[in-house]
Amino acid sequence: MAEEKKDTDLWEVFIQPKNGLSHRHCGSIHASDRNMAILAARNVYARRGEGQSIWVVKSKDIVSSDPNEKAENFSADDKIYRHPTFYDVPDDVGHM
């Protein structure tokens, strides 16, 4: 049994709205372990039938880039050939 009070971790919550769609980030919660994290995510973000599956991941386990490095990470403005704007997406394709 831990002697000291341990603060709860911050977790990021992702919800998959339906089959075939990707899990989308919807917010964060505090919880002491993985079981509690799923329950807290359900209590806070899944109250109105938002989806069918929940992911939680500790915020500190996410590796993120420095926003100051935006210019070198996101330098596609002058490379229009990287955007699929020369194709028409048929209506039936739905989500792409």
Contact residues for other proteins (CB under 8 A)? 1-6, 8, 29-33, 35-36, 39-40, 43-44, 47
Which residue has tokens 């831990």? 2
Under 8 Å between Cβ of 40 and 32: no
Under 8 Å between Cβ of 53 and 22: no
Distance of closest approach, residue 35 Cβ to other proteins, in angstroms? 5
Distance of closest approach, residue 7 Cβ to other proteins, in angstroms? 11
Nearer of residues 21 and 33 to other proteins, judged by Cβ = 33
Nearer of residues 4 and 88 to other proteins, judged by Cβ = 4
Report which of 50, 47, 40 is spatially closest to residue 10, judged by C-alpha positions: 40
